[in-house]
Structure 1
Amino acid sequence: MKLSQIVYSILVAVVLWSCGSKASTDEKTTATAPEDAVVPIKLSPVSTVVRAEPVVASGLVSSAQEVRLSFKIGGIINRMFVEEGQSVRKGQLLATLDLTEINAQVSQAQLANEKAERDLGRVKSLYADTAATLEQLQNATTGTNVAKQNLTIARFNQSYAQIHSTVDGTVIRKIANAGELISAGASVYQISSNRPSDWVVRVGVSDKDWARLRLGNRASITLDAYPDRTFTGTVSELAQAADPANKLYEVEVRINPGGVKLAPGLFAKVTLVPAQSRSYTLVPIEAIVEGNGKEGFVYLLADDNRSAGPLHVRKVPIQIGFIDGDKVLITNGLPGVKDVVTGGSAYLTEESSVVVK
């Protein structure tokens, strides 16, 4: 064996011996390490409060009187008299169809009615002279009645070849234009009432929140368009079935605009105050650890005998109702609990030893 290989083997052996010696030393050090220090904690009392938990939801401002106007029959649009954003009055003419075909249908029905009346007159004369049968007279009478009804239908369609506004409001959408061929019942204008008493916000709430709400419950509304102002409102409608898409129940809140200009589509945050109250457990906000939305944890003393040396804690899950200043209202309660850990809770685990300061 070469001398270089012998030297290399000796060096590898020395390195391995050094690593093993260090690991042994580390194990002894770990084994003889002192236990964790005792964590000082502070306890705060738990109380109970009876309140009506508010329901917070968001939605868009709209008008309770929002209509989509269309023609009774299809045809070619002749004229459009208003544009988007314009204010309109109830009964105002908004659009018309080209009446060429419609007027021809009225004339045709009128001529058919005149012929039916002439035929009926002749059959009556023949029947009086016993030259026509009773069946012929009855058929002529029926034909005259059918012709009259066809004329009524044609004139009715002619009268609804125009669109008139059904409310005082604002045109928020113009869906068609002059010269377009439009089918019967297709929307042409969408109009929103602009009366102060018609503004509403529609929001979706869960089934539990829906069950606590009643018509007439108060609400406070904030709008992104007016961030420094809070509006008042009342619950005006409660849906009796959930929306199939999002499984939420729609609640309509009527707003008091207080002289402020509103428009459809403004984003609103609504806080509803149910009349039904319930009891909540009240704890300081600093007692909550690992809070995540509506869930969190608090630490409680796991030992009743505080004079028997180091104490321990246990971690308890809670359901957060809502936050009120420096207090948290808990919905699932802490039955039989008098105190929760506040000071020092950030440094605790369930294996920690603690001392109450």
Structure 2
Amino acid sequence: MGKKIIFIIAIIVGVGAILAGLVITKLGQFSAMAEAGKNGGPPPSTVSVTTPRTDTWETRYKSVGSIEPVRGILIETESAGVVDSINFENGQEVKAGDLLVQLDIDVEKAQLRAAEATVQLTQTEFERATRLRQSGNVPQSDLDRAAADMERAQAEIQNLKALIDRKTIVAPFDGRVGIRQINLGQYVPTGSPIVSLEADEQVYVNFSLPQKTLSKINTGMKLDVTSDAYPEQTFVGQLTAISPVIDPSTRSVALQGTIDNPESLLRSGLFVNIELVSEQTEEVLLIPSTAILYAPYGNSVYVVESQQNEDGSGERLIVKQKFIRIGRSRGDFVSVLDGVTADERIVSSGAFKLRNGAAITINNDLEPQAQLAPAVDNS
């Protein structure tokens, strides 16, 4: 019986302790709410604050484009025939004049030997006709006919040699071959693709810009080219050609730059990002991109201001939302064209939890450091 009484008392004490804890918690919440109401709003939010910075930026025009070799062709057959030999490996470096593919020329070589014999015969007949004509034993027409027969035979040799040359496919310039599209012993008709050949010690980058930039660009301007294939590398080139024609459908001008490619990293067809760097510079006002609240109706930032407490006990910090007009971005920074000044303090992180007129406290200990050229650490 005594154990039951002790058990009941323990339960009552435990329930009482829980109720007491709830009461104390609620009293604390009510006290915080009363204090917040006394101060005119919710408790201050902790944010990081920064001041806009000024910098000098080069004028850059961004675009996307693709790589094209300065010299690149698809080698095709000029004459039909059977592939007799293939004298290269896929992806091999070749020199101008190197034999790539030999089609079967046995028939042409036999015809060439016969033509050479015919030339020797016609030369002999021409010489004989010349002597007889000098002695007056044959008419001039016989000499003319012998000369024509000799020229015809010589032309036949040239024709056969040209046919053999068309079936003997050599590299027209130094470069790298691709993947062959023929096989040994295959019959290939005229115009059949054999292999691509590209000289990629230099490459073109083709891109376009809006027509409004036409008066601000000229050949010789620097190009910074990047690709996701080489995310940590920037290739530098020059603008070498500006199309004289504006595309009537896009109202853009086609441009072409040239880039040295000694390591053959930039391959034909590679998609690249391009920045055309102008010699003109401009003063810009920069803020971290984390400070901007992006919205369809307009971008804005929160500016820090001081406000007198309603009870006259002192000042507190609040924020005011200001709409801004932004320009170009670089790294972690965005240039501001209008809306804030260099002497104003703005919220750089934590702006998403604020509202216009909200009270804040400042803590910059954990603020991320914005950089113009951030480097991502993948380790």
Please confirm whether the aligned pair reaches a TM-score higher than 0.5, indicating the same fold: yes
2:254 paired residue among 225, 235, 249: 249
Unaligned runs of 5+ in 1: 1-44, 300-312, 347-352
Deviation for aligned residue 1:120? 2.4
Deviation for aligned residue 1:174? 0.9
TM-score w.r.t. the length of structure 1 is: 0.58
Structure 1 position 158 matched with structure 2 position 164 = yes
1:78 paired residue among 67, 76, 84: 84
Task: Tell me, in whole angstroms, the C-alpha distance in 1 between the residues paired with 2:140 and 2:161.
Answer: 32
1:221 paired residue among 223, 226, 240: 226
Structure 2 letter corresponding to 1:328? S
1:93 paired residue among 99, 102, 109: 99
TM-score w.r.t. the length of structure 2 is: 0.55
* CA displacement, residues 99-120 of structure 1 (integer Å, 9 cap, x when unaligned): 1232133234324433432442
| More off after superposition, 45-54 vs 128-137 | 45-54
* CA displacement, residues 34-59 of structure 1 (integer Å, 9 cap, x when unaligned): xxxxxxxxxxx999987433233344
Match of 2:280 in 1: 277
- Structure 1 residues 279 and 206: CA distance shift in structure 2, 3 A: same
Deviation for aligned residue 1:202? 1.9
1:137 paired residue among 134, 143, 148: 143
Match of 1:123 in 2: 129
1:137-216, aligned counterparts within 5 Å?
A: 137-184=143-190, 186-193=192-199, 198-200=201-203, 202-208=205-211, 209=213, 212-215=217-220
Deviation for aligned residue 1:140? 3.4
* CA displacement, residues 263-286 of structure 1 (integer Å, 9 cap, x when unaligned): 625845333343342658757566
2:59 and 2:278 in contact (8 A); partners too: no
Task: Tell me, in whole angstroms, the C-alpha distance in 1 between the residues paired with 2:241 and 2:123.
Answer: 56
Task: Tell me, in whole angstroms, the C-alpha distance in 1 between the residues paired with 2:122 and 2:146.
Answer: 7
> SS at the partner of 1:124?
helix
Task: Tell me, in whole angstroms, the C-alpha distance in 2 between the residues paired with 1:70 and 1:113.
Answer: 33
* CA displacement, residues 58-88 of structure 1 (integer Å, 9 cap, x when unaligned): 4445543434334453322112233323444
Match of 2:58 in 1: 52
- Structure 1 residues 173 and 238: CA distance shift in structure 2, 3 A: farther
Task: Tell me, in whole angstroms, the C-alpha distance in 1 between the residues paired with 2:322 and 2:253.
Answer: 37
Structure 1 letter corresponding to 2:217? R
Match of 1:42 in 2: none
1:105 and 1:154 in contact (8 A); partners too: yes
Structure 2 letter corresponding to 1:275? S
1:218 and 1:235 in contact (8 A); partners too: yes
2:298 and 2:323 in contact (8 A); partners too: yes
2:57 and 2:284 in contact (8 A); partners too: no
1:60 and 1:264 in contact (8 A); partners too: no
Deviation for aligned residue 1:97? 0.8
- Size of the alignment, in residue pairs? 285
Match of 2:16 in 1: none
1:235-246, aligned counterparts within 5 Å?
A: 235=238, 237-240=240-243
